[in-house]
A = this chain, B = another copy of it.
Amino acid sequence: MNIGIGVIGAGVMGADHVRIIAQEVARARVVAVCDQDLARAQSAATIAHGARAVTDPLALIADKDVQAVVIASPDATHADYALACIAAGKPVLCEKPLAPTSAECATIIAAEQALGRRLIQVGYMRRFDPGYTDMRRRFAEGDLGGALLLHCIHRNAVAPAWFSALMAITNALVHEIDITRWLLGGEIASIQILRGRATRSSAAADPLLAIMQMESGQVVDVEVFMNAGYGYDVRAELVCEKGTLTMAPPVHAELRHNGSQSFSFAQDWRPRFAAAYRRQMQAFVDSLETQQGMGASAWDGFVATAVAEAGVQAFEIRTPVKIELPPIPRLYSA
């Protein structure tokens, strides 16, 4: 029988999750969609025939037909709903970030520890992208030797006018913070944010160059450019002792026209990471049966937020900031 899922938040991401579950994922169905704006909830629920539209997230969590919860509501609400789900013993896929502050994330970790098991997965979907998973799998074969450097590029076509340099760190760079830890299998020791010459198309200090150094020494550089203009473009090259791995942009057809050969970029992250979102949701559903989650844990969500906080500080004081993490709890180190 299909697993009943409740989705909290029917904005762009929430509605997308509803559509993905209803149209692309096996053995699951959306039973309820919650949004403060009932019309919006109804609109999303329509995609999933038979789903209820509701406005009370806590009622949704308590609903006995809801066996698992997707949290896609505003960031500030994540912690409360995650804690309610833990209290109800219901598994969660929570959109990133787990919470806007590491302190809030810590309360979730504490709740899971008190419960004695993990219920939370955080939607760092790049862990399911074929580009990143191929890099990681090939790297794990071992013949390339140790990883030495990671070069990353994170470009959006256009950011909203209200998007600040700090948001470039907490909302965009945070993806590379997570994927770096996942690819390199270690913790970030320090972070530095360099401001360069800023584009005239934004009021923010944009682009930024983030430099992270891992505890085991590797250097990671990340260009974060929120108004790159030409398209949504995410790149990575992992430099190892005997070779490198470069993530290829997804290209299905190449056009020769008007004097050039070209392929198109996605204009935002949803088409670019469509496979990742689908695979993430399927893995979440699978994990409800196998009890083995592949996604980012609450601990991963905590660390990503903590490193992003250090990044914000590094941006402001313009020098490298050392990352101080508590020891990883036993629940997450297994």
Contacts and interface: CB of A to CB of B under 8 A. Distances in A.
Interface of A: 2, 21-29, 130-131, 133-135, 138, 144-149, 151, 153, 157, 194, 196-201, 207, 209, 211, 213-214, 216-219, 221, 223, 225, 228-231, 233, 239, 241-265, 267, 282, 286
Chain A binding surface, main DSSP class: mixed
Contacts of A25: 26
Nearest to A133: B252
A251 B251 contact: yes
Of A217, A242, A252, the most chain B CB neighbours within 10 A belong to: A252
A144 B211 contact: no
Contacts of A250: 252
Contacts of A246: 253-256
Contacts of A223: 149, 151, 239
A189 to B, nearest CB: 11
Contact of A260 (B194, B211, B221, B263): B263
A233 B256 contact: yes
Of A233, A254, A256, the most chain B CB neighbours within 10 A belong to: A256
A150 B213 CA distance: 21
Given A197-B217, A198-B217, A248-B263, 8 more contacts: A131-B252, A196-B219, A199-B241, A230-B242, A231-B256, A243-B256, A250-B252, A256-B265
Contacts of A230: 242-244, 256-260
Contacts of A200: 145-146, 241
Given A239-B207, A253-B131, A256-B231, A197 B148 contact: yes
Contacts of A27: 22, 29
A253 B134 contact: yes
A244 B256 contact: yes
Given A2-B2, A253-B135, A216 B197 contact: yes
A93 B323 CA distance: 50
A230 B239 CA distance: 11
A233 to B, nearest CB: 7
Contacts of A214: 197
A153 B150 CA distance: 12
A306 B223 CA distance: 28
A207 B149 CA distance: 8
B243 A217 contact: no
A162 to B, nearest CB: 20
Contact of A209 (B221, B229, B245): B221
Contacts of A199: 145-146, 148, 241
Nearest to A220: B196
A333 to B, nearest CB: 23
Nearest to A144: B257
Contacts of A217: 196-198
A21 to B, nearest CB: 7
Given A26-B26, A254-B248, A261 B263 contact: yes
